[in-house]
Structure 1
Amino acid sequence: MDRVWIFVFIGFVAVVLSSVSATLTINEISGPDYIEVGSQDELVLDCDFTAENEEDVVLKWFFNGLEQQIYQWIPQDPHAYALGVLKPMIDNSFKISNDPRTMLRALKFKEVTPELTGNYTCKVESTDSEQVMTKQVIIYSPATSFDMFLMGGDDEFPGDEIIFCDAKNILPKPEFNLYVSGVNGSLEEPEMFEVTKRVSPNDDGVYNMSITLAFNASYLDVGTTRFVCQLDIPGTNYSEVKSVEYFVDSLDLKRTTEGLTDNSLMTEDSGKDRISSSIYLVLLIVGSLVFAT
């Protein structure tokens, strides 16, 4: 009986030592976090993993979750296989190294298009374990135009003044906001005024957006009030800011404006300018509605 327990103990120790020496780890997924459309011709995502003393290792890539597999490779196999919705864009012969244990682990796309925006998951499996890591990649296009205007009020929007911001042909969907500069230059939501936001995506995923803020100058403090329009694509370094200043004189309440950017700004000194500004606003709004349809 003692011999039986000895053999059992030895077998247990062997299993433990084997499991301790086996290692399966994904070290990192290297590659860009974001790419501007037209800035480069290809995209490579490298799943750097370690598999020591592991058996039956398989590497798989997935797109936007674990339901859409797009790539598979078994180390030591000279061939990898592209699958799924992105198959035509994948170069399954691309080698990241000449080592047969790692050479086909990377995912290479032969072109860079907005359809590649999403989450890429590398999953490495063995007989006894698996490791998973995900990386987000954003393919973006900056706005082809971004404008900010100050103009007189009209019948559509309540208030005697209107701030209008307009951005066209941007993807993916950006964050587009209008702020009032507060104490110490902090940006605050213009809660006291009425803000209207229009978002018009088209079939290609390109967005046209506008923000209209109508306000009564009598509600502003005496002095200068700064209005700021900010356009950002989350997950990228793309950001644009435009601003205008509105001045209220404490003596005669005359109000003037001074631009902090290269925007075209209108003042109360010219009735013609206000009429043309209102017409421009109507045209921009109609244009946004046309894009929406």
Structure 2
Amino acid sequence: MNSSNVCEVAMCLFIIVLFTDFLTLNAVKIEKVILPDVIQSQAPEGAILDCLYTVNSSQFTLQWLFNNSDVPVYEWKPNTEPVVGELLEGRLDLSYRASTFSTDERRALHIVSLEPNLSGEYTCKVVSDGLEARLSRSMLVFSPERDFTLVLQKQNRSTRLQCIARGVYPKPELTLEHDSVPFVRQQQRVWRSDGPLFDAESTATLHVNGEYCRPRRITCRLQLPQAGYAAMKKELIYVDGQQNCRNGSSASTSSTILFLALLTITFYSSKTAFL
């Protein structure tokens, strides 16, 4: 290897070392995004979305992005006031501070007005000296039922059941059950009602063949599988009418007593004849 080649190799190594030092000094790294995976809408404590990062400069920009948009819903540079996008306008506690250090005090979002339309993927992005780091995580804001009813309409030998849940999110499952067993034949439908919210309805008919006086337990079960939320309504009914069932029970009891009385008389009559 001649001297010129040695110089070229040395120069390359020098450039690599300088470039490595530059990257080290100007490194940008996001360590963690912290937020609730699932939270109820209008939770009194709100939700805090935090971003833990490392940046070796005070001249950087922090952004929060929502879903697939590159337009930030929140942008902050140290020693300046944050810029809030339309999605979060009026929903943030801007007095919240995640730290006492000027380089990360305004990094977090404290959302005080939670609605289902805030469900989605949040990305923390930090840009410094042409270098960029980002990390994403999803949050689900679920809405429990605003109204939940179970209506029973008794007919001759059947009862029509109707269960309705209104104003829920995300998409619900609504199931009618009798004695903890789902109805095989039930009509279920779900539709959008107000923005992202859903309404749901399930109907079924309970038929009874022959005399049936034992009460039936009717349950309407509402579930939001993605949120791990469940609620239920229960009713106890006599399909044939409670009064008829009571009369039937009384008649059966009377017949049993009469049979026992006749059996006793017969026994004593036989005993007297034997003596």
- With the length of structure 2 as denominator, give the TM-score of the two structures: 0.66
Counterparts of 2:112 and 2:139 in 1: how far apart (Å)?
18
Write the letter of the residue equivalent to 1:100. Answer: S
Counterparts of 2:124 and 2:31 in 1: how far apart (Å)?
8
Does the Cα contact within 8 Å between 2:143 and 2:170 map onto a contact in 1?
no
Counterparts of 1:124 and 1:81 in 2: how far apart (Å)?
15
* Equivalent residues in 2 for 1:13-32, closer than 5 Å: 13-19=17-23, 22-31=27-36
Write the letter of the residue equivalent to 2:85. Answer: L
Does the Cα contact within 8 Å between 2:175 and 2:202 map onto a contact in 1?
yes
Write the letter of the residue equivalent to 1:33. Answer: V
- How far 1:105 sits from its partner (Å)? 0.6
- How far 1:206 sits from its partner (Å)? 4.6
| Alignment of 1:166 onto 2:138 | no
Q: 1:81 aligns with which of 80, 83, 102?
A: 83
Q: Which runs of 5+ in 1 are unaligned?
A: 154-159, 243-260, 273-293
Match of 2:143 in 1: 140
Does the Cα contact within 8 Å between 2:149 and 2:164 map onto a contact in 1?
yes
Match of 1:99 in 2: 101
Write the letter of the residue equivalent to 1:175. Answer: P
Does the Cα contact within 8 Å between 1:114 and 1:140 map onto a contact in 2?
yes
Counterparts of 1:148 and 1:64 in 2: how far apart (Å)?
40
Aligned-residue identity in percent: 17
For residues 55-88 of structure 1, give each alpha carbon's deviation from its aligned partner in whole angstroms, at most 9, with x where no partner exists: 85321112333245211012x3332111223323
Write the letter of the residue equivalent to 1:34. Answer: I
Any idea what SS the aligned residue of 1:86 has? coil
- How far 1:95 sits from its partner (Å)? 1.9
Distance of aligned partners of 1:210 and 1:162 in 2 relative to their CA distance in 1, 3 Å threshold: farther
Q: Which runs of 5+ in 2 are unaligned?
A: 245-275
Counterparts of 2:159 and 2:51 in 1: how far apart (Å)?
51
Distance of aligned partners of 1:93 and 1:81 in 2 relative to their CA distance in 1, 3 Å threshold: farther
Q: 2:223 aligns with which of 217, 226, 232?
A: 232
Write the letter of the residue equivalent to 1:236. Answer: A
Match of 1:268 in 2: 240
Match of 1:175 in 2: 172
* Equivalent residues in 2 for 1:220-259, closer than 5 Å: 229-242=220-233
- How far 1:238 sits from its partner (Å)? 2.4
Write the letter of the residue equivalent to 2:15. Answer: G
- How far 1:6 sits from its partner (Å)? 0.8
- How far 1:137 sits from its partner (Å)? 3.3
Counterparts of 1:266 and 1:20 in 2: how far apart (Å)?
77
Does the Cα contact within 8 Å between 1:175 and 1:233 map onto a contact in 2?
yes
Q: 2:203 aligns with which of 212, 236, 239?
A: 212
Distance of aligned partners of 1:265 and 1:174 in 2 relative to their CA distance in 1, 3 Å threshold: farther
Match of 1:47 in 2: 51
Q: 1:197 aligns with which of 156, 171, 188?
A: 188
Does the Cα contact within 8 Å between 2:28 and 2:126 map onto a contact in 1?
no
Counterparts of 2:151 and 2:175 in 1: how far apart (Å)?
10
| Alignment of 1:35 onto 2:40 | yes
